[in-house]
Amino acid sequence: MAKFRLLLGIALMFYSCLLTTSKTLKANSADQQDDVVNDYLTLRLVSTVFRHGDRTMDKINRESYPNDPYNGRSFYPVGDGDLTNTGKKRAYELGLLLRNKYHKFLGDLYYPPNVYARSTWVTRTKMTLQLVLAALYPPVEIQKWNSELPWQPVDMIYYPMNEDDLLFPIKCSIYHDTYKNVIQNAEVKKKIEQYDNLMEITSKYTGTNITNLLDLARLYGVLHSELSMGLTLPNWTQNIFPDGELLNATLLLFDLLSYDQLNNLNGGILINDMNKVINGTLHRKINLFSAHDINVFGLLLALNVSEQHLPEFTSSVIIELHERNEKYFVKILHYLGIPPKILEISIPGCEVLCPYDKFIELTKNTTGLFKQSCYPDNQKISKPYISTPFDDKN
């Protein structure tokens, strides 16, 4: 009996210690939860601009050359400039990535007011957006209309080329005229002249007259598409592609977007929905813009964070708006596409999680100015999109 009392006493003491420890842990846990609440970031809006998936050459828009060994080859049933199966898969994977990353924020249910999905008029961008949306919003039980098809239609819009002042600002007359002025700049002319020999060499091998940066960039696009399709490229391309002078010339063309007013105009793709969310006049959750390499590159330039590389297929700029204690912050991510890797980006003068007011101040000269810059005369350039504004022959 004495032994039992001793053991019972020890047990009661042990239980008392456990009870005290438990209360202490709960108190500490509550304190930690308060800290979490105080430091907790609430996602309010996601906006992403992405390039389309892998595609064939667009022969209709002169993405070919007479001596191309694949010039007469048909890629039926894939049309000119349209998505290959690899491109479709890559676009769907982008949608899955967005789904996995923002699942808690977006929820399972597709609700149209939460989503703004917009594409350029080009087939490959429209198809890319459809594939991204298919992965982003598979139907939940209440939305299933076909038990054998885990897909539902999701609303998306696009504008005719001549009316798309957001994703095709090159149709703006001021944009076109500004570029014409830029390439007449003595410093720019000197940079372009560095590629005179490359133009001469590529003219010889391609069998076409290559006379400007757009011609070189178009050739780069042809070779890039053929390479992505697993086609063997001619030997003469080895020293200039995928790295080398042809890449550098294409980068120079894209870099010209940062000159003068062009940077402001292209920065207009960054819409002002963040301000509407902050003011409580917009309750949308995600903006999706399916576009082209120039759009992605131009947005990075407008944010002053562009690196010297061309956006790969499905490369994306993702802009997040966060709230903490009634203060707002902006975070920028860059999805490389190839490889499928996400990078956090800090704009010059700010940390990765940039206070909203500071973000607006740092980017005020290069974002959100498109309408003020382009709309005064509202004139459009009625030429094929592939030829403007970069074709310095026109």
What confidence score (pLDDT) does residue 27 get? Answer: 39
Give CA–CA dist 285/311, Å, rounded: 25
Q: CA angle at residue 353 from 350 to 357, to 5 degrees?
A: 65
What value does the mean pLDDT take over residues 316-330?
96
**Which of 52, 176, 224, 334 is flagged as catalytic?**
52
Q: What is the DSSP letter of 287?
A: E
Indicate the Cα dihedral angle 18, 22, 24, 26, nearest 10°: 180
Residue 117: pLDDT band (50, 70, 90) is very high
**Which residue from 58, 52, 60 is spatially nearest to 90, judged by alpha carbons?**
52
Active site residue 196: no
pLDDT in tens, 36-61: 333 689 999 999 999 999 999 988 77
**Three-state DSSP state, 92:** helix
Q: Per-residue pLDDT for 170 more than 60?
A: yes
The band of 221, judged by pLDDT with boundaries at 50, 70 and 90, is: very high
Q: Give me the residue spans of the domains in the chain.
A: 42-363
Closest by alpha carbon to 125, among 237, 311, 293? 293
Of 24-28, 260-264, 356-360, 365-369, give the lowest mean pLDDT range. Answer: 24-28
Question: Residue 6, exposed/middle/buried by CB under 10 A (0-12, 13-18, 19+)?
Answer: exposed
293 a catalytic residue = yes
**Residue 171: per-residue pLDDT:** 64
pLDDT band at 18 (very low <50, low <70, confident <90, very high): very low
What is the CATH T-level fold of the domain 42-363, as seen in this structure?
Rossmann fold (3.40.50)
How far apart CA 54 and CA 94 sit, in angstroms, is: 12
**Confidence check: pLDDT of 281 > 80:** yes
pLDDT digits (tens, 9 = 90+) for 82-102: 999 999 999 999 999 999 999
Give me the pLDDT at residue 169, please. 66
Pick the residue with more confidence: 388 or 176?
176
Residue 5 pLDDT: 46
pLDDT surpassing 50 at residue 141: yes
**pLDDT (0 to 100) of residue 98:** 99
Catalytic residue among 54, 58, 82, 293: 293
Encoding tokens for residue 380?
A: 């459009």
- What per-residue confidence (pLDDT) applies to 374? 60
Give the CA distances from residue 65 to residues 24, 192, 210, 211, 216, in Å, rounded to whole numbers and listed in that order: 76, 22, 10, 14, 11
Give, rounded to a whole angstrom, the gap between the first and last alpha carbons of the chain. Answer: 107
Confidence class of residue 32 from pLDDT cuts 50, 70 and 90?
Answer: very low
- What is the per-residue pLDDT for 352? 96
Q: Is residue 229 pLDDT above 90, yes or no?
A: yes
Say if residue 337's pLDDT is above 80: yes
The tokens describing 187, both together, are: 């410093």
Q: What are phi and psi of 391, to 5 degrees?
A: -80, 100
